Amino acid sequence: MSIFVDETTKVVYQGLTGSQGRFYGLRNRDYGTQVVAGTNPKKAGTDVDGVPIYASVADARDATGATTSCVFIPAPGVRAAVMEAAEAGMDLVVVITEGVPAHDEAWFYNKVKRDFPGTRILGPNCPGIISPGRCNIGITAGEIATPGGPVGIVSRSGTLTYQALYELKLQGIGVTTCVGIGGDPVPGTSFIDCLEAFEADPETRAVMMIGEIGGTGEEEAAEFIEAKMTKPLSSYIAGVTAPPGKKMGHAGAIVSGGKGTAKAKMDALVGAGVAVGNNPTEAGELMVEIVRSL
């Protein structure tokens, strides 16, 4: 199985008529993803390479049965786009856009959680989600992912998401689902959300978790792993050499006081029984050892 998406998932692209939305939407379609619609109220009734354009997500849902939305809307419009998708009853809203204001993220995260509990947000500022050989929503290159399991991947870093997939591909190890949760301060989907789903997925037999400095998500994940996870994990935490108090890369990658450091996260994960690598390649090698021992 995969988590959150599979080959039956029907996707509407908010922003399919833009250059980035078109490029990745059609790439995802070519991969095999059911890209069934796009939205643009000014271009309703037209199409993008055969994909019909509707005025709204609700119209697209009614016409196509779409259950998932992928957002390629510029940052100022993301708040409205997410709410449009939630109000249309989307099960999953994948927000690729970076640069979304943190107060907008906090607002729509809490609004959706309170008023639309059936809708999951992934992102913003994330590479999306791929279930290799089944479904690819976002900007991950399908060529670097091997299908068939048994590993699930969850990552805050887009670039390290790709490296994790490729490290396993080089070893001939398949992936059930790879989820890029994004590195912004208010992610719609957390490490724990993904770990819980992987724990429940019978095809996922091991999990690779990629974190980075800033926030407390990895420490919280370590507590969950120790209490709830029965499946083995490897991990890597980026930012060991980052100077304290300085934002590095993602908006969420800032260390406050003694919290959020790479060392604190690594110590917490080791304490929870996770095999922690000192670099991404080592984390991949540790996962290879885990898979061979399954």
What are the boundaries of each domain within the chain?
A: 10-122, 141-293
pLDDT value at 150 more than 80 = yes
Entry pTM: 0.94
| Torsional sign, CA 140, 199, 70, 52 | positive
Neighbours of 292 (CB within 10 A): 9
pLDDT-derived band at 122 (thresholds 50, 70, 90) equals very high
pLDDT value at 152 more than 90 = yes
In percent, the amount of the chain with pLDDT more than 90 equals 87
Residue 242 confidence (pLDDT): 59
Q: In the CATH hierarchy, which top-level class contains the domain 141-293?
A: alpha beta
- Dump the DSSP string for 22-90: HHHHHHHHHHT-EEEEEE-TTSTT-EETTEEEESSHHHHHHHH---EEEE---GGGHHHHHHHHHHTT-
User: b/e per residue, 15-49, with b = 16+ CB within 10 A?
Assistant: bbbbeebbebbbbbbebebbbbbbbbeeeeeeebe
Residue 258 confidence (pLDDT): 54
- Mean pLDDT in residue range 63-73: 98
Residue recorded with tokens 């809490």: 110
How far does Cα 176 stand from its chain's mean position?
13
The Cα–Cα gap between 181 and 158 comes to 9
Fold for the domain defined by 10-122 = Rossmann fold (3.40.50)
Residue 20 confidence (pLDDT): 97
Give whole-number Cα distances, 73 to 20, 21, 125, in Å: 9, 8, 12
- Mean pLDDT in residue range 122-130: 97
Residue 1 confidence (pLDDT): 72
How far does Cα 88 stand from its chain's mean position?
21
pLDDT value at 166 more than 80 = yes
- Mean pLDDT in residue range 104-118: 98
- State the burial class of residue 227 (Cβ atoms within 10 Å of its Cβ: 0-12, 13-18, 19+): exposed
3-class DSSP assignment, residue 179: strand
What kind and span of H or E run contains 238? strand 233-238
Q: What does the angle CA 147 – CA 266 – CA 193 come to, to the nearest 5 degrees?
A: 50
- Mean pLDDT in residue range 175-193: 96
Q: Is the omega angle on the peptide bond into residue 150 within 30 degrees of 0, that is, cis?
A: yes
The Cα–Cα gap between 204 and 151 comes to 5
| Lowest mean per-residue pLDDT among 27-31, 93-97, 109-113, 276-280 | 276-280
The Cα–Cα gap between 265 and 100 comes to 26
pLDDT value at 69 more than 70 = yes
Residue 247 confidence (pLDDT): 52
User: b/e per residue, 187-210, with b = 16+ CB within 10 A?
Assistant: bbbebbbbbebbbebebbbbbbbb
Q: Which two tokens stand for residue 231?
A: 């499946």
3-class DSSP assignment, residue 18: coil
Residue 262 confidence (pLDDT): 87
Q: What is the DSSP-derived secondary structure letter of residue 4?
A: S
| Same fold for the pair 10-122 and 141-293 | yes
- Mean pLDDT in residue range 141-162: 95
- Mean pLDDT in residue range 108-118: 98
Q: Is the omega angle on the peptide bond into residue 244 within 30 degrees of 0, that is, cis?
A: no
3-class DSSP assignment, residue 87: helix
Residue 243 confidence (pLDDT): 60
Q: Which two tokens stand for residue 109?
A: 């995260």
pLDDT value at 278 more than 90 = yes
**140 and 128 Cβ atoms separated by less than 8 Å:** yes
pLDDT value at 134 more than 60 = yes
Q: What is the DSSP-derived secondary structure letter of residue 237?
A: E
**13 and 72 Cβ atoms separated by less than 8 Å:** yes
Active site (catalytic) residues? 250
Query: Per-residue pLDDT tens for 241-268?
Result: 656 655 555 545 454 455 578 899 999 9
In percent, the amount of the chain with pLDDT more than 70 equals 94
pLDDT value at 108 more than 90 = yes
pLDDT-derived band at 215 (thresholds 50, 70, 90) equals confident
